[in-house]
């Protein structure tokens, strides 16, 4: 369960949260090594929100919506790799 007291490293264990963080890295121009840094992983979401409030006026509402989204799929497991051959490898072009 993700809460405001959760740490960033806890976010990276959640599949949906990891996807959101990856998109933020991609579109925000943040290097992936920064988010996966062990020191940054120890930062609580509440601490991150205190910094975000300075730049984003409605950071609390956005954070609550994202936390609700992250907690929807709490028991989701990683998808198993498929043994099926890819259709495009067998297609005749």
* pLDDT tens-digit map of 28-44: 888 888 888 999 999 99
DSSP 30: -
Tell me the domain boundaries of the chain. Answer: 8-73
Predicted TM-score (pTM) of this structure:
0.66
Question: What b/e readout covers 6-21, taking b as 16+ CB neighbours within 10 angstroms?
Answer: bbbebbeebebbeeeb
Task: Note the pLDDT of residue 62.
Answer: 87
Task: Note the pLDDT of residue 85.
Answer: 67
Structure tokens belonging to residue 18: 């990891």
Residues 5-61: tens digit of each pLDDT: 999 998 888 888 888 888 888 888 888 888 889 999 999 999 988 888 888 888 889
pLDDT class for 83, splitting at 50, 70, 90? low
Length of the chain: 93
């Amino acid at each position: 369960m993700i809460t405001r007291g959760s740490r960033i490293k806890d976010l990276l264990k959640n599949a949906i949260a990891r996807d959101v963080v990856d998109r933020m890295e991609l579109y925000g121009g943040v290097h992936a090594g920064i988010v996966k840094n062990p020191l940054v992983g120890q930062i609580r979401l509440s601490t991150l929100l205190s910094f975000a409030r300075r730049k984003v006026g409605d950071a609390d509402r956005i954070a609550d919506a994202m936390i609700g989204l992250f907690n929807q799929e709490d028991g989701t497991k990683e998808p198993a790799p498929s043994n099926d051959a890819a259709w495009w490898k067998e297609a005749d072009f």
